[in-house]
Structure 1
Amino acid sequence: MQAQIQNPLAALPNRPMKVNVGGVKFDTNTATLQGAGQGSLLAKLAEEYSLDKRTELFLDRDPDLFRAILSLLHTKRLPPLPAGSDLDLLIVEAAYYGVLEFVKSCLYPPTLDGLDVEKSKALLSNGRDFPSAISVLHSDGSLCLGHGSKVTFYDWALRRCSTTLTELLSIGSLQLLSDSLVAMGSPDMPGLHVYDVLRSKHKKSIMWSGTQDPRVFKPSVYAITTSSKSIFASFSSAKGGDNTIAFVDPERLEVVDDIGRQSGLSATVPGKLQWMEKRGLLVAGSTVAGPFGHTAHLRLFDVRSKEQIWEWKEPNLTLRAQEKDSFADWTISEDIDGIFKIGVASGRMELLDLRLLKEESDPWMIMRESRPDLRKCEGGVSNLLVANGRQVFCSRGGDIEVWSEVPLQLAPDEKFWETSFRRNFLDQRRSVGTGYEIAAMAVGGNRLFVARKELQGLEVWETRGCHKL
């Protein structure tokens, strides 16, 4: 019978110990330092102290930061940093002592709650360009910001790590592929361009060239998204309107297939792509302005069968005249298993329950606010949507609102009602439309990021009560 492997630190007796850090003496015990975890420097020092029966340990490090780390091990919370110290120094010291994961867990904000958020900080990028595209890595909350022809990368602690100058005139679409690689596209420059933002180097440019059709000429990228196995990019030719959604291999960075090819005058370029991991569906949507108003097109693709399984065009001819409208933006919510959209003219929020997709010819449900003072909704082609869990954030001009699901005890197959979601505003201003218009929004790392037109700063919204250093 195989003997069980035991943690050698667990068998050590808990002894009082003295630690001299930079000339400042601290009284603690071996159990506290062992709480840093096996393999950390502090746990190893506690082991040496117990085995060698030393009277004191000496560390030539910053005593103020050691005091903060020691308090973290005691209380599982970070105290306010002393004067003259900043977050960068704390992270360096935490990595030295082997307790960086403890610091991460304390600095990481709680789950984003649209009913209890506040503007925590503003990120300023280099140069004078305004932000045009945002991408967040959901695994750790690191961020890429496109502004002008540059892209700036921020790590999990929102520290500015690098700014990379690209060959693009302006960055229209952006997608983080990993903690160092980012893909981007622009209507002004053909191809999908991949950069290593940590090294500030161009890695590869990818072209949609798997066709002999002469109408396909210098295709540009208008939207990007990723799944666990592929990169999806919306390519459109510079002439003729031919477009497709290309599948890019994330390892070789080459186009391996495409789906949803369109050509001719009726072709609409997907300006937004989103991936539904649970269903294995790729959602593509576009809104185009014309001489007679706006037209919108939404399509769902099964990437395994390479087939389009559903589409929706607006204005929809089957609807009544007063209900005909085109959506300004849309977003998916995998937690709700649905798609939200907002109208250009009406400003209505509507929900498509994917569970009912095959049962109804018009599957959209209008979301209605029961409170009279919040029923009026402003339309606009620049309104934006982004979902987070079972809530969706909506921008109307310069204001941000959140539609949150009412937490009722419902069966898993229960249908949503028109009043299943309630509307609230994020800010406390009573007047509407007084702020700078919102240009882009993104959610990730339990944070909401907001970019406004003609403003260089990127707003960071977090749930109230999270720790501030």
Structure 2
Amino acid sequence: MSGTSRLTRATGAGGPNRIPGGATFGSEFSSTGMGDLHEPSDALRPPFARPEEFEDMVGDLRRVFIGWLKKTESELRKERESIISDRKSFDEEKRKAWKAFLVEKQAEYEKLQEERRRVETESAATMKQIAVEREDARQRIVEEREQFDGEKDNWKRKMLMEREKFLQEFDAFEEERRKIRDTNIAVQTVVDLNVGGVVFETSRLTLVQQQGSFLESLLNGRHQVSRDRHGRIFIDRDSELFRILLQFLRDPSVPPCPRDSAESSAICSEASYYGLKFFPFPLVFALGGHNGVDHLNTVEVLDIAQQCWRPCSPLETARTYFGSASSQGRLYAFGGQNFDYKALCDAEQYDILRDKWVPAPALNIPRRNACGASLGNRIFALGGFDGTNILSSVEAYDPRIKNWMEVSPLMIPRSSATCSVFGESLYVFGGTTGERLRSVERFDPRANKWESLQRDMIEVRSAASSAAYLSTLFVMGGMDNGHQIHSSIESMDLHSMKWIFRRQMPQPRMDAASVVASDSILVAGGQNEEVLNSTAFYRADVDEWTEGPSMLFPRYGHSLLVSNL
């Protein structure tokens, strides 16, 4: 039996749509397309004939309801799948749109960044060009100013030199006008001299061979002549020393050979009185130092005529960074350091005529990296380092009393400074007091007082070298606070008291040494990336450097000393 017939029989024709228990379902079936079922009244609803009919009806309802549920579920699933598909399509479109948006924005960002970099590059290039042009303009102004100042200083120096030359010529003219006091002595070929009561007879040519000496001016009639009672020229000096000097004048190729240190000093003093020179050129000595491996005691002398260096007797003590000075025909070396790097206080002196080093009185304070100079008849040791402290103390050695004495200390403690003498003043330049310096101090020995110059050097310099020449102070080389080794040289005219740069050295140097030799400043040795044995001559009047002969040994922390003996 079909479900419809059972349902018809159970409910009757137009039977009620209420199931037992009072629940209705007519409205639900009408909404699902089951036909138009009208709910009858309770009086017309017939009872079920059998219980199975009710169960069949419930089963039919369940099947119908389940079918409806499956259909509805299928439709919902389809709608869900459609919605999911639409969502996936929307998400894919969204991702594509977002990706396209990001690509577009990234392209715009990169374009903006590229534009920004281009603008920054152009701006940096423009600023760099402006800075270069500004620096070039400033450099041109500085160079033009330096050139103008240099031309002015050169002109001033030339005027001073011309004035000095004019004064010398004027003095020479006046001297010539007053000379020939004794015409007989000017024409004599053989001359009798009474020196200290001892009579000497020699040729006139022997006595006048050194131009400018006392004997040459005496025999050319340019000097007041004293005579003894026999009419001989009388000179009130030591006859034994004059005999030695006369022997040298007879054979100038052989300098005197003293018996001892006292005689050597006496001969040098007597030669200074007579204005005699034992050597045709200034003697330039290079002493001690370090060759990069060992401390040196070697000494060499420059043969200016042959342009070469020759060995001399070595120092008794190898030493580096020591003080030194030349005075009265002797060289002095004092302080410094040697193999154990301990500051030394011992000193020694070199007798040039005897070619021999002998001990000298020791310093009161051990010191290394000190500088030394000779002023008047005294030798000065300035500043330095005693192994613990940088020193401001200064001591002076007087050969007459053979002792070192404390004098007024420096205003600033200085180590690795350099010093020079001009006129009656002593100048000390730069150095270090823990920080490298460019200040300058001047010492007045008569007042025993130091003063600081108002004008500092242009460059900071420690371990530099210096010289005084033609009324000008020169400082060259050294190291600054940035550990840069200088090749520059600067000078201060003592009339204008202004520092200016000069032509640079051929190579940078620190721990070098310099000295005035004839009409040039000689710079020798030192170090930059290596220890040097090269030398160079500087002509201050023409601002030019020329290469000199190389020393026998490379050395730094050494000394150069000159003697016009």
TM-score between both structures, scaled by the size of structure 1:
0.46
Higher helix proportion: 2
The higher radius of gyration belongs to 2
